[in-house]
């Protein structure tokens, strides 16, 4: 019997929408879901394990991965590279396991170019007023920073059309339920089921 390939789920949305909170809440509910391990050129922090927290790479190694199209997406932040290695994702999917990427909108668009069969989920705030409240509630942002974040959020929301699904994060529990429903529906799609049944028919007849 052939192994069903896993789904690549890409969850992204504006800063402050609660991507990390939703993913943390999903972990105990979807224990078979594999969280993609990112690669980085920054030094490991105390207690971090290579291949668990990050794949720690030298700058030369990371640049070589970019050159050889081994990254699904990448970006440079504060002098270090961060990105999603293609090999880890593809090998995990081939094992029949679903993989989730929690990344920013620009990274998600990079992944869509290289892996269009992924399931792209846009996590949206109930409204921009609520998003503003969540960002200011952190207490770590200046007025200029908040204004810039809101401008970026507005531009990112306009990119919603590139996604397959939109999940409103009004309540974390409800957002998790919606994402789980998407995963179930995607696994039941005719395109994923029909090949399996054709193989069964060939085996019998």
The residue length of the chain stands at: 205
> What rounded mean pLDDT belongs to the chain?
90
Count CB-CB contacts under 10 A for residue 58: 9
Global pTM reads 0.85
Domain ranges of the chain: 1-33+98-205, 37-96
d(CA 59, CA 56): 10
Least Cα distance to 89 among 32, 38, 26 occurs for 38
| 61 vs 45, higher pLDDT | 61
Class of domain 37-96: alpha beta
pLDDT score of 144? 84
Exposure of 182 by Cβ count < 10 A (0-12 exposed, 13-18 middle, 19+ buried)?
A: middle
pLDDT band with cut points at 50, 70 and 90 for residue 2: low
| 77 vs 168, higher pLDDT | 168
| 151 vs 185, higher pLDDT | 185
pLDDT score of 143? 84
Coil, helix or strand for 17? coil
d(CA 184, CA 167): 15
Least Cα distance to 163 among 102, 131, 116 occurs for 116
Q: Tell me which residue has tokens 């089921």.
A: 193
The CATH number of the domain covering residues in 1-33+98-205? 3.40.50.300
pLDDT score of 3? 64
């Amino acid at each position: 019997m052939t192994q069903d390939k896993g789904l690549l789920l890409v969850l992204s949305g504006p800063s402050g929408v609660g991507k990390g909170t939703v993913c943390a809440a999903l972990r105990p509910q979807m224990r078979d879901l594999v969280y993609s391990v990112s690669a980085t050129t920054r030094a490991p922090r105390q207690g971090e394990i290579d291949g668990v927290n990050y794949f720690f790479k030298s700058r030369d190694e990371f640049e070589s991965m970019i050159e050889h199209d081994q990254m699904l997406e990448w970006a440079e932040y504060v002098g270090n590279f961060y990105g999603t290695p293609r090999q880890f994702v593809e090998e995990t999917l081939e094992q029949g396991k679903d993989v989730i990427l929690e990344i920013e909108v620009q990274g998600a668009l990079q992944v869509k170019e290289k892996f269009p069969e992924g399931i792209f989920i846009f996590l949206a705030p109930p409204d921009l007023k609520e998003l503003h409240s969540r960002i200011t509630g952190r207490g770590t942002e200046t007025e200029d920073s908040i204004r810039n974040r809101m401008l970026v959020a507005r531009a990112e929301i306009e990119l919603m059309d590139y996604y397959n699904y939109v999940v409103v994060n009004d309540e974390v529990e409800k957002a998790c339920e919606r994402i789980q429903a998407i995963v179930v529906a995607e696994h039941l799609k005719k395109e994923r089921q029909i090949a399996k049944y054709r193989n069964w028919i060939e085996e019998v007849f």
